[in-house]
């Protein structure tokens, strides 16, 4: 019963946010109330360990609110202030429906093992597939990639565990820097008040640098130069022409999303997050025309309602909590006091390097990247005379990417650790440590260059 109620609240929240820009009256209070109700209803149903952080965040927010004598309206506004991110996540998860109905994963696997001759090429395309699948599947990317390529890679790659862990984790994490449905990307754009199109180009360039560095580094350190077994013969009965059509469809969907979001943002009619939702729904609707007569359609939609929607519950609770804390802190003088006490104004451009380093440091020692990004971003966005918002956003995204790669207790590395039967610490530090250090330096250099060019 509670699960059904949660699904209804999530759907109502997404619908309210979708209608807000065109409604004849404000729906902000409705959205905020839905957020509070969802928090109260869903909190008891999630895993005990997942309750601790949102409860701590809300408690801190309430204490600050009480000490600074802020009205209840601040809490109400905060509860709904970040639910647009959850709504985008709900929309983006719709893309898992055509992925399940089609043969995209099988077709890509077929082409991958038919044409790739060496481990380095296989590593590159495994990373790329993880990267672009993550724009649709989000949190479901790693399990899908492991089920899709796990056994074939195990049979054909010399150092399978490191190969799979590094290619999939890095490919997934790089998506954070530009994908319109990535939670951390949406959080950063919300904090910095930037549009998706303002960060897309440098963010995408950051992901290209990361993937290129990863492939070159692993090619030098671990990848075999010998011919892989599956390149010798094709063992799947799949029509190659149809397989290439599947690849073309995926590419078309991704490019269409990018063009449509960019075009909608340039009209200046709707806010950036609304443009992402609208573009996602439109592209999804067009894509689903192909599967309108599929015999599995009802079953897959039912699965989305039962499972897909509920994947957003934990995040919704977290964003209600973060929204409350952020609004309370904004209304207090805490940021100004902290800013003055440590003399941030004297740091100058060095702030660009400090932001990702602090984000990674705090994340590694247990503070979730979402909290770190919210706190650090709020501090520096209050004083934009130091560095431009784009540089702050890129620095936050860089720190988020590295945090997801090197933090042992996040979902990506825990999933990989369980599947590969290797300690999460080995995956994060031993296999990904050197890459993360190099990528941090490259990312900071890119941000400095981008800022100096005044783009």
Separation between Cα atoms, residue 343 and residue 259, nearest integer Å: 42
Q: Which of 276, 310, 331 is the last residue of a domain?
A: 331
CA 265 → CA 195, 251, 271, 276, 381, distances in Å?
A: 7, 21, 7, 9, 22
367 lies in the same domain as 408: yes
Cβ–Cβ < 8 Å for 315, 90: no
302 lies in the same domain as 399: no
313 lies in the same domain as 438: no
218 lies in the same domain as 261: yes
Provide the H-helix boundaries in 227-350. 240-267, 272-288, 297-303, 313-331, 334-342
318 lies in the same domain as 236: no
Q: Which residues of 7-33 are buried (b: 16+ CB within 10 A; e: fewer)?
A: bebbeebbebbbebeeeeeebeebbbe
Cβ–Cβ < 8 Å for 182, 85: no
pLDDT in tens, the chain (455 residues): 778 888 899 999 999 998 888 888 888 889 999 999 999 988 888 878 778 888 988 998 899 888 888 888 889 888 988 888 888 888 888 888 898 898 887 888 788 778 887 888 889 989 998 898 887 766 667 777 776 677 778 777 888 889 989 999 999 999 999 988 788 898 898 888 898 889 999 999 999 999 999 999 999 988 877 777 654 444 557 788 888 998 899 889 888 988 898 888 888 788 877 888 898 899 999 999 999 999 999 999 998 888 878 878 877 888 898 889 888 887 776 666 666 666 665 666 788 898 999 889 888 876 777 788 887 887 777 656 678 899 999 999 999 999 989 987 676 787 788 778 888 888 888 999 999 999 999 999 999 999 888 76
Separation between Cα atoms, residue 207 and residue 398, nearest integer Å: 10
402 lies in the same domain as 275: yes
173 lies in the same domain as 283: yes
Separation between Cα atoms, residue 398 and residue 173, nearest integer Å: 10
As given in the structure block, the two tokens for residue 316 are: 């919704």
289 lies in the same domain as 307: no
425 lies in the same domain as 285: yes
111 contact partners, CB below 8 Å, separation of at least 6: 240, 243, 244, 247
- Domain with 289, as residue range(s), is 81-294+332-452
96 lies in the same domain as 190: yes
CA 307 → CA 120, 131, 207, 245, distances in Å?
A: 36, 23, 30, 29
Domain count, the chain: 2
């Amino acid at each position: 019963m509670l699960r059904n109620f949660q699904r209804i609240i999530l759907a109502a929240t997404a619908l309210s946010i979708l209608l807000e820009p065109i409604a004849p009256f404000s729906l902000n209070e409705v959205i905020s109330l839905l957020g509070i109700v969802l928090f109260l209803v869903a909190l008891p149903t999630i895993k005990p360990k997942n309750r601790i952080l949102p409860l701590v965040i809300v408690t801190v927010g309430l204490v600050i609110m009480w000490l600074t004598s802020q009205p209840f309206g601040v809490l109400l506004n905060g509860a709904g202030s970040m639910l647009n991110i959850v709504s985008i996540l709900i929309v983006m998860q719709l893309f898992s429906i055509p992925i399940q109905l089609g043969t995209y994963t099988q077709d890509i696997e077929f082409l991958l093992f038919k044409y790739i001759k060496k481990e380095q090429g296989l590593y590159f395309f495994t990373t790329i597939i993880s990267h672009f699948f993550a724009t649709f599947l989000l949190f479901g990317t790693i399990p899908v990639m492991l089920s899709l390529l796990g056994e074939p890679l195990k049979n054909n790659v010399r150092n399978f565990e490191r190969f799979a862990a590094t290619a999939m984790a890095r490919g997934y994490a790089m998506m954070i820097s530009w994908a319109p449905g990535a939670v951390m990307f949406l959080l950063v754009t919300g904090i910095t008040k930037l549009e998706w199109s303002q960060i897309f180009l440098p963010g995408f360039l950051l992901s290209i640098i990361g993937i290129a560095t990863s492939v070159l580094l692993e090619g030098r350190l671990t990848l075999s130069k010998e011919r892989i077994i599956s390149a010798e013969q094709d063992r799947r009965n799949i029509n190659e022409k149809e397989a290439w059509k599947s690849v073309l469809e995926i590419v078309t969907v991704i490019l269409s999303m990018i063009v449509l979001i960019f075009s909608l943002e340039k009209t200046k009619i709707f806010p950036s997050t609304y443009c992402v939702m609208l573009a996602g729904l439109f592209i999804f609707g067009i894509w689903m025309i192909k599967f309108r007569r599929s015999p599995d359609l009802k079953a897959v939609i039912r699965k989305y309602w039962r499972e897909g929607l509920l994947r957003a519950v934990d995040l919704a609770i977290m964003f209600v909590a973060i929204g409350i804390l952020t609004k309370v802190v904004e209304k207090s003088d805490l940021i100004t006091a902290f800013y003055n006490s440590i003399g941030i104004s004297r740091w100058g451009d060095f702030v660009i390097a400090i932001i990702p380093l602090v984000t990674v440091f705090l994340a590694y020692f247990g503070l979730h990247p979402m909290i770190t990004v919210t706190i650090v971003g709020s501090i520096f966005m209050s004083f934009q005379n130091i560095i431009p918002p784009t540089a702050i956003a890129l620095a936050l995204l860089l720190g988020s990417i590295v945090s997801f790669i090197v933090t042992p207790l996040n979902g990506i590395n825990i999933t990989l650790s369980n599947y590969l039967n290797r300690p999460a610490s080995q995956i994060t530090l031993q296999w990904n440590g050197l890459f993360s250090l190099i990528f941090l330096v490259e990312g900071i250099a890119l941000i400095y260059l981008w800022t100096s060019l005044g783009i």
